[in-house]
Amino acid sequence: MEQDVKPGRRGLLAGAAAATGAVVLATPQVSRAQTVALRFQSTWPQRDIFHEFAQDYVSRVNAMAGGRLRLDLLAAGAVVGAFQLQDAVSAGTLDGGHGVAAYWFGKNKAFSLFGTTPPWFGDAHQLLGWFYYGGGEALYRELVNDTLRVNTVGFLTGPMPTQPLGWFKNPIERADQVRGLKYRTVGLAADLMAEMGAAVVSLPGGEIVPALERGVIDGAEFNNPSSDRVLGFPDVAKNYMIQSYHQPVECFEVLFNKPKYDALPAELQATLRHGAEAASADMSWKLQDRYSRDLLAMAQTQGVNVRPTPRPVLDAQLAAWDRVITRLEADNSSPVNGPLFKKICDSQRDWCRRIGNFFLRYEVSPVVSYNHFFART
């Protein structure tokens, strides 16, 4: 016969403690540190939509961090100038920032391959695909951390549409009109336009319109209808040449000081990384609305003559790209020049050959369907 044994008080407490212990062990180990505040500067004027995109990234990170991490956004020039951002983040003067890799082109031209690449990518989504799934991120770290010893961690984000050839007092109708033109651009596009005979000047966004107005430059590109409109381009030039191979693909770069980033718990590092992915998607949706509205507004209310870059100019750009790429890949003056530049280009070409072949064969033409539904209305 079984004996009915009732547990004593000590037995109940022991059982409760064991159960509680099991619950504690099953709870995810999430750190409970105090709020970490990071100073995060953009390379954009506060009124530019690019600064708004930087704010969108910051807002997502702050919301997902649940009060344990806060990015405090500053506009270009608040601490350092736009072209000094990478140095400031590497030195710890700033904790992070939002810009484009092409701005560090003066340190090594390979930086532009993570921003304003040659036109072998079909669009900037393919560039981001290469970075995250085609080996690009490892090559980026090799350039930034291993070769140049820059003390930053970076993520690419925010696919940009094709950039316009730019703003001019007189329209560009022939390739020979580029020769001798004082023209603003950045990154590898500077080498490209110089190859075509332009006198290239690289300026940050906030300085372009004043230079164009004073005649310091004859023509300039920045990026998109929304930025160009708010920066005041329609007030100083009326010919807006769209479609170009000088910068058909670009994306943003989010930077953090490496010691500061490495000191964060893993879940906050993930928040910074995945916040870039979330902001990238949101930006690709937002720009559809804003860019299209601003292009129409400039044409309809500000007297801007919007016209496509003529085919002979585009062909001349592609021929110039061939010469620029060949020259830069053959530059053996140091290990950080031609060899690494070619290594990155080879990786991109392999990706683009396969991915471009897929999309060009697989996707139905949007031109045909657009014309069917809208060309008659």
- Residue-wise pLDDT tens digits, 284-311: 999 999 999 999 999 999 999 999 999 9
Does residue 1 form part of some domain? no
Q: What is the pTM of this model?
A: 0.88
Q: Alpha-carbon distance 190 to 105, whole Å? A: 10
pLDDT interval class at 32 (50, 70, 90): low
pLDDT interval class at 332 (50, 70, 90): confident
pLDDT interval class at 317 (50, 70, 90): very high
How many Cα atoms are found within 13 Å in the side-chain-facing hemisphere of 194?
11
Which tops the pLDDT comparison, 41 or 331? Answer: 41
Per the structure, how many domains does the chain have?
A: 2
Does residue 205 form part of some domain? yes
Q: 282 and 308 share a domain?
A: no
**What is the model's pLDDT at position 334?**
67
Q: 153 and 259 share a domain?
A: yes
Q: Where is 366: in which H helix or E strand?
A: helix 366-374
Q: Alpha-carbon distance 243 to 215, whole Å? A: 24
Does residue 187 form part of some domain? yes
**What is the model's pLDDT at position 12?**
39
How many Cα atoms are found within 13 Å in the side-chain-facing hemisphere of 42?
22
Can you give the CATH number for the domain in which 242 is found?
3.40.190.10
Does residue 295 form part of some domain? no
CB atoms within 10 A of CB 263: 11
- pLDDT for 188 beyond 70: yes
Q: 120 and 179 share a domain?
A: no
Q: 333 and 227 share a domain?
A: yes
pLDDT interval class at 231 (50, 70, 90): very high
Q: 111 and 74 share a domain?
A: yes
Does residue 270 form part of some domain? yes
The mean pLDDT value for 213-241 works out to 96
> pLDDT (tens digit, 9 = 90+) per residue, 349-370?
999 999 999 999 999 999 999 9
The mean pLDDT value for 260-276 works out to 98
Can you give the CATH number for the domain in which 60 is found?
3.40.190.170
Place of tokens 């129409």: 296
Does residue 31 form part of some domain? no
Q: 89 and 113 share a domain?
A: yes
Q: How many helices (H) and strands (E) does the chain have?
A: 14, 11
- Using CA atoms, how far residue 333 sits from 210, 284, 328, in Å, is 37, 39, 10
Does residue 14 form part of some domain? no
Q: 211 and 113 share a domain?
A: no
> pLDDT (tens digit, 9 = 90+) per residue, 71-114?
999 999 999 999 999 999 999 999 999 999 999 999 999 999 99
Q: 70 and 103 share a domain?
A: yes
Which tops the pLDDT comparison, 333 or 278? Answer: 278
**What is the model's pLDDT at position 205?**
86
The mean pLDDT value for 334-342 works out to 81
Alpha-carbon Rg for the chain in angstroms: 25
Domain that holds residue 40: 36-159+249-289
**What is the model's pLDDT at position 343?**
96
> pLDDT (tens digit, 9 = 90+) per residue, 126-137?
999 999 999 999
- pLDDT for 377 beyond 90: no
- pLDDT for 21 beyond 70: no
Which tops the pLDDT comparison, 204 or 57? Answer: 57
The mean pLDDT value for 207-230 works out to 95
**What is the model's pLDDT at position 324?**
96
Does residue 364 form part of some domain? no
Q: 318 and 274 share a domain?
A: no
Q: 215 and 321 share a domain?
A: yes
DSSP-derived 3-state class of residue 254: strand
Q: 132 and 58 share a domain?
A: yes
Any idea what the Cα angle at residue 175 is, between residues 169 and 179, rounded to 5°? 70
Task: Please check whether residue 40 is in contact with residue 94, taking contact to mean a CB–CB distance below 8 angstroms.
Answer: yes
**What is the model's pLDDT at position 112?**
94
Q: 125 and 74 share a domain?
A: yes
The mean pLDDT value for 319-326 works out to 97
pLDDT, the chain, mean: 91
Q: Alpha-carbon distance 107 to 201, whole Å? A: 16
The mean pLDDT value for 14-30 works out to 43
